Structure 1
Amino acid sequence: MVTLETAKPEDAVGGFHYDHDVSGRLVSLGEWRVTTASSEVADSILQLFGGGKPRNWETEGSDAIEVLTGASAIEIIVEGASKLRRRMIHRGRTSTYVFGYDGSVELSDVDRSRPTGWEPETELTFRLARSPGLGTFWLRSRSWSMANDLARNQTEDRLASASGATLARLALVPVSFIAKSGPRAGDRVNYTWPALTLVEAS
């Protein structure tokens, strides 16, 4: 059994996010938001990337400190293809099927309040290039743009072919358009998605 919403790598010292809950509504961010359980890690993130001072936020998980950084792009170190996982998730009425790109299938409980349908899930664990000794961080994304970008650039294959760790750039890409249909027709829609660009392998 897997917990899709809250599970994170056990050895991760923090997570990178590109949205924030504002009065129960997720709002897309233009700069990275980092959450952690360690005040020392939070202080280090502030020193590395600037932004607002670490503060507490409401969460059921252990990463109860957040830093709204001033960085929209960071350099990271990815230690092999196993640190990047992509899968497709289908939420049904009574269960959630998780299809891995390797053909594996998992089954987990479903949150009935969420809509049904297919969506990608990308999970990346990495170290910060400017401070690799700080520990491992993670990112989880359900962005179709990220999933398509990784497939188009054959990112997993390139990571697998590297002899060691790979230097990469993780950047938030802004998108803005006028909605032509739906409940927000005529409104400007703004959001960001995370792009992973491999720089060089060691």
Structure 2
Amino acid sequence: MAPYPYYSPSRGQKLDDAGADRPRLSAPDPVGRFHVARQQDGRPIAVSAWRVTTENPAVADAVGGLYGGVPQMSDAGDEHVVEILTRRVHIPVSLGGRGAISLRMVMRGAGETFHLCDGTRFLEPSGARGSLCGCPASLADRKAAAQAGRGPTPEVRVDFRLADLPELGVFSLVSTSWELAAELPVLAAALDTAAVPVVGVLRYELVEFTTRSGIAVSYRRPVVEVGSTQVLAQDAVRLAA
């Protein structure tokens, strides 16, 4: 494998779902991140299989060796990370119980975070932490508020190890899917009742359908499977309008 340069991103670097995911507050940085898309001209573009980014060249080499793909410096807007466009759509994983998943509601704009809560109480700023955030109780009402530009959107994070090489460290997947947020209680219950670590699969799925008006629509989404539990994740990367 040809050598490639390595750079460490600054702590202030802003990242996104289609590029490298935003770090979660009060959580250790993962050794790598899984994505359903990459940035191209500022827009998320789906790829044919799992995309993995990492700041560690040894991790990149290991992922490429396991799942195919040549580690290379990202040219999709993540200039400080190495990316691997793997050849795998199914990745066996292990999760460490309920603590492997988390949800927070976030509203951002112009490079700033205006709202960050757990759905009930503020997480930031520190002066407001623990006070009621004012978000509606139901997810449906939260979604309506977000679509009207008056409320935050979900940010679900799943942490896991690669079942094929668990000693490599913890990876993460961050999704802004409302569907995944809605299914989170079911997944949490499955993780609560299963032995730790919980064996699962990350599946990269292509969804295709035709609207009532005859428009063909397709998008990619990850599916998180734990036993017989399926959780449909990120469905926001649409390939056709």
TM bucket normalised to smaller: 0.7 to 0.9
Q: Which residue of 1 aligns with 2:23?
A: 7
**TM-aligned CA deviation for residue 187 of structure 1:** 4.7
Q: Deviations over 1:126-146 (max 9, x none)?
A: 100010011111110112232
Q: Which residue of 2 aligns with 1:135?
A: 169
Which of residues 179, 188, 197 is equivalent to 1:145?
A: 179
Which of residues 89, 94, 99 is equivalent to 2:117?
A: 99
Q: Is the 8 A contact 2:208 2:219 kept in 1?
A: yes
Q: Which residue of 2 aligns with 1:71?
A: 88
Q: Is the 8 A contact 2:104 2:155 kept in 1?
A: yes
> 1:38–1:96: structure 2 CA closer, same or farther, 3 Å change rule?
same
- Separation (CA, whole Å) in 2 of partners of 1:163 and 1:177: 37
Matched, 1:190 2:206: no
Unaligned runs of 5+ in 1: 109-114
Q: Deviations over 1:57-93 (max 9, x none)?
A: 155685x100000111111110121110023334589
AA of the residue aligned to 1:99:
C
Alignment of 1:53-72 (within 5 A): 53-58=70-75, 59=77, 64-72=81-89
Tell me the percent identity: 30
RMSD: 2.9
Which of residues 199, 216, 227 is equivalent to 1:167?
A: 199
Alignment TM-score, normalising by the size of structure 2? 0.65
Q: Which residue of 1 aligns with 2:58?
A: 40
> 1:35–1:88: structure 2 CA closer, same or farther, 3 Å change rule?
same
Alignment TM-score, normalising by the size of structure 1? 0.77
- Give the structure with the larger strand fraction: 1
**TM-aligned CA deviation for residue 170 of structure 1:** 1.1
Q: Deviations over 1:20-76 (max 9, x none)?
A: 1112211123311000112111111111111x31110155685x1000001111111
Q: Which residue of 2 aligns with 1:111?
A: none
Aligned length: 183
**TM-aligned CA deviation for residue 186 of structure 1:** 6.0
Q: Which moved more, 1:159-168 or 1:33-42?
A: 159-168
Matched, 1:124 2:158: yes
- Separation (CA, whole Å) in 1 of partners of 2:37 and 2:113: 26
